[in-house]
A and B are shown apart, each in its own frame.
Chain A
Amino acid sequence: MHPAFSVIFLTTLIGAGQGLYLAMVTGQLYAIAQFVEAQKDQFYAIGSLVALVFLIAGLVASFFHLGRPERAWRAASKWRTSWLSREVIILPIVMALVFAYAAAHWMGWTNPLFQLGASLQVDVTLLLGIVGTLASLALFVCTAMIYAGVKFLQEWHTPLTVTNFIFFGAASGFMLAAAYSAYIGNPLVTFFGTWAVILTFVGIGSRLMHLRRNGRIKRKSTVQTAIGVRHNALVQRSQGAMGGSFNTREFFHGQSDRVVDMVRYAFLILVFPLPVLLIGAAHVTESPNLPILAFLVQFVGLMAERWSFFAEAKHPQNLYYQSVA
């Protein structure tokens, strides 16, 4: 498949945005449980607003993928069958909940509404945080299922696609939370950094399993089944167009195997060992800048990861487009 930069930006940006929001809610939950010290409401509010900026940036990027962006509103209609439609519906819901969570903190709506058990004071921010977390996880699933749901792309048609999207998104979001805490000099940087490392570790494990699975994939379609001629020696001589077509532009990445391999090695280094080393070094040196660098390095790595994700998928329609002339 041809890696579309609009989609690469969309999935990485909203992944980081959702992850940062999940980090804010996790921070609040840990504070309620008194595992970490409670922060000022402003901390959660600004963190969520940064998450909202990432979500909006992702939404803007997604419009560049559309041929007719002015009709994008129509995409909400077929949610019964289309994962893309489901994503289109749930993305604004998540954005609204993130904004509401930020606003509730900013306005200080923290008077307990009711009490659960002996000590759990439930306020508006907690309710919004939990609903937003569920919506955010649903958005991860919808985004990933757009790819995992296409059975013809055997490289994508696996639950590992969904786990990759969830854990990589969450990892970069927690990394961003660590960077944000470091930037404002908040002591939660270690807490978020630790979670970022754990999530990165799980994410890279899932991705390595995904790579291993794709390395030994057995193709369902062959050129024999494509044209229905049972013969071992079967080569294409022309494809009905000399200058290429939509089929050659959309479904081939057009890069050499070497470039694809390089991008794969690059993302494996940029996503996992480098950010983990940087965040570890930040913990030792208490540097306010290294977590920001760690997030940026990992984010670039995740864009390379998404590029690689596209490039490694081989569409069966390519069997009809093997040779130009």
Chain B
Amino acid sequence: MTQLALVIDLNVCVGCHACVTSCKEWNTSGWAGPMVDQNPYDASPTGTFFNRVQTFEVGTFPNTETVHFPKSCLHCEEPPCVPVCPTGASYKRPDNGVVLVDYDKCIGCKYCSWACPYGAREVDEEQKVMKKCTLCIDRITDPKLSERDRKPSCVLACPSSARLFGDVHDPDSEVSIAIRERGGYQLMPEWGTKPANHYLPRQKTQMHIDQDELTRVDNPLRKEDLTTYTGEETLDDVAW
């Protein structure tokens, strides 16, 4: 069974919000109607977003690291938001595992948002229905698009390729390999929601270099050389 998901590499995310704007642009112009904003050019702008980049600071100054943390619906394999929905508007697609909301059935009771520990669902204040990341279901299921474009718009927009998209149930997919080989993890595993989206951890990019890696103390040419040097230019001084 297919389970489409995102794998987000926190090691290369630079927090540019390109995924946020690209997501909003694509999904606000789609068939499901606009994602409405309130006071967009005024004080306290607010609105509906499927995807947000948050920033956390790790450590104490001056030894701090900034972690940019993109967060959208994690398309849980055990989605707690689905069974609580009284109308069946919230559902998980059996063919590809994407969790979706039928905007024509949603009554806007907000109960599903209470049942999501990640805060992935947001009410559209204009349409009065619950909205959430669809993994760009209209893109990824559109056979008219080329293979390259059949991806969520956040993935296509990311300038540092921090977002991977694919089937986490296929062990040979790009995302499964990334999870397996680069320590991919899930958010809040303690709730048993089994999020399909995974995150790749930050990695140390320091290198340890020993002094004898810079200066060869056991240069065999020098060891077997019988010449007595008196300060003249030798082969070691030649710039190659």
A binds B: yes
Instruction: Give CA–CA (A68, B125) in the complex, Å.
Output: 11
Tell me if B32 counts as interface (CB < 8 A to partner A).
no
User: What are 11 contact pairs spanning A and B, CB under 8 A?
Assistant: A74-B89, A75-B107, A82-B86, A221-B191, A223-B56, A229-B58, A241-B49, A242-B45, A243-B44, A250-B123, A316-B188
A320/B71 in contact, CB under 8 A: yes
A236/B56 in contact, CB under 8 A: yes
Q: Which residues of B contact A225 (CB under 8 A)?
A: 187-190
Question: What 14 new A-B contacts, CB under 8 Å, besides A229-B58, A240-B54?
Answer: A68-B129, A74-B87, A77-B87, A84-B109, A150-B84, A150-B114, A220-B190, A221-B117, A223-B56, A245-B122, A250-B110, A315-B119, A317-B117, A320-B54
B87/A71 in contact, CB under 8 A: yes
Tell me if B14 counts as interface (CB < 8 A to partner A).
no
Tell me if A108 counts as interface (CB < 8 A to partner B).
no
Interface centre among B115, B127, B188, B190 (most CB of A within 10 A): B188
A316/B117 in contact, CB under 8 A: yes
Nearest residue (CB) in A for B131 is A246
Tell me if B185 counts as interface (CB < 8 A to partner A).
yes
Q: How large is the interface on B (under 10, 10 to 19, 20 to 34, 35 or more residues)?
A: 35 or more
Q: How large is the interface on A (under 10, 10 to 19, 20 to 34, 35 or more residues)?
A: 35 or more
Instruction: Give CA–CA (A224, B20) in the complex, Å.
Output: 23
A71/B105 in contact, CB under 8 A: yes
Residue among A68, A82, A236, A316 making CB contact with B128, cutoff 8 Å: A68
Tell me if A72 counts as interface (CB < 8 A to partner B).
yes
Tell me if B27 counts as interface (CB < 8 A to partner A).
no
Instruction: Give CA–CA (A120, B39) in the complex, Å.
Output: 68
Interface residues of A in 231-261 (CB under 8 A from B): 231, 233-247, 250-251
Instruction: Give CA–CA (A226, B71) in the complex, Å.
Output: 11
A229/B202 in contact, CB under 8 A: yes
Q: Which residues of A contact B176 (CB under 8 A)?
A: none
Instruction: Give CA–CA (A154, B176) in the complex, Å.
Output: 33
A152/B117 in contact, CB under 8 A: yes
Tell me if B80 counts as interface (CB < 8 A to partner A).
yes
Q: Which residues of B contact A293 (CB under 8 A)?
A: none
A82/B83 in contact, CB under 8 A: yes
Q: Given that A69-B107, A71-B87, A77-B86 are known contacts, is A239 also in contact with B188, CB under 8 Å in the complex?
A: no
Q: Which residues of A contact B55 (CB under 8 A)?
A: 236-238
Instruction: Give CA–CA (A180, B117) in the complex, Å.
Output: 45
B123/A75 in contact, CB under 8 A: no
Tell me if A67 counts as interface (CB < 8 A to partner B).
yes
B123/A227 in contact, CB under 8 A: no
Q: Which residues of A contact B69 (CB under 8 A)?
A: 227
Interface residues of B in 35-75 (CB under 8 A from A): 39, 43-49, 52-60, 66-67, 69, 71
Instruction: Give CA–CA (A84, B46) in the complex, Å.
Output: 29
Tell me if B85 counts as interface (CB < 8 A to partner A).
yes
Instruction: Give CA–CA (A66, B89) in the complex, Å.
Output: 14
Tell me if B12 counts as interface (CB < 8 A to partner A).
no
A67/B84 in contact, CB under 8 A: no
Q: Which residues of B contact A250 (CB under 8 A)?
A: 110, 113, 123
Instruction: Give CA–CA (A227, B110) in the complex, Å.
Output: 24
Instruction: Give CA–CA (A240, B121) in the complex, Å.
Output: 15
B86/A84 in contact, CB under 8 A: yes
Tell me if A158 counts as interface (CB < 8 A to partner B).
no
The interface residues of chain B, by DSSP majority, are classed as loop
Q: Given that A68-B108, A246-B48, A320-B118 are known contacts, is A152 also in contact with B86, CB under 8 Å in the complex?
A: no
A81/B84 in contact, CB under 8 A: yes
Instruction: Give CA–CA (A208, B46) in the complex, Å.
Output: 39
Q: Which residues of B contact A235 (CB under 8 A)?
A: 56-57
Tell me if B201 counts as interface (CB < 8 A to partner A).
yes
Instruction: Give CA–CA (A1, B105) in the complex, Å.
Output: 25
Interface residues of A in 67-96 (CB under 8 A from B): 67-69, 71-72, 74-78, 81-85, 88
Nearest residue (CB) in A for B87 is A74
Q: Which residues of A contact B49 (CB under 8 A)?
A: 240-241, 245
Tell me if A321 counts as interface (CB < 8 A to partner B).
yes
- Shortest CB distance A16–B (Å): 23
Residue among B46, B60, B67, B113 making CB contact with A227, cutoff 8 Å: B67
B114/A153 in contact, CB under 8 A: yes
- Shortest CB distance A89–B (Å): 10
- Shortest CB distance B200–A (Å): 10
Closest 5 pairs between A and B when the two form their complex, measured CB to CB? A67-B108, A67-B128, A317-B119, A240-B52, A243-B44
Q: Given that A149-B84, A245-B122 are known contacts, is A315 also in contact with B128, CB under 8 Å in the complex?
A: no
- Shortest CB distance A156–B (Å): 9
Tell me if A146 counts as interface (CB < 8 A to partner B).
yes
Q: Which residues of B contact A236 (CB under 8 A)?
A: 54-57
Residue among B39, B88, B185 making CB contact with A243, cutoff 8 Å: B39
Tell me if B165 counts as interface (CB < 8 A to partner A).
no
Q: Per-residue CB proximity of A44-84 to B under 8 Å, as 1/0?
A: 00000000000000000000011111011011111001111
B114/A246 in contact, CB under 8 A: no
Q: Per-residue CB proximity of A246-283 to B under 8 Å, as 1/0?
A: 11001100000000000000000000000000000000
Instruction: Give CA–CA (A240, B154) in the complex, Å.
Output: 15
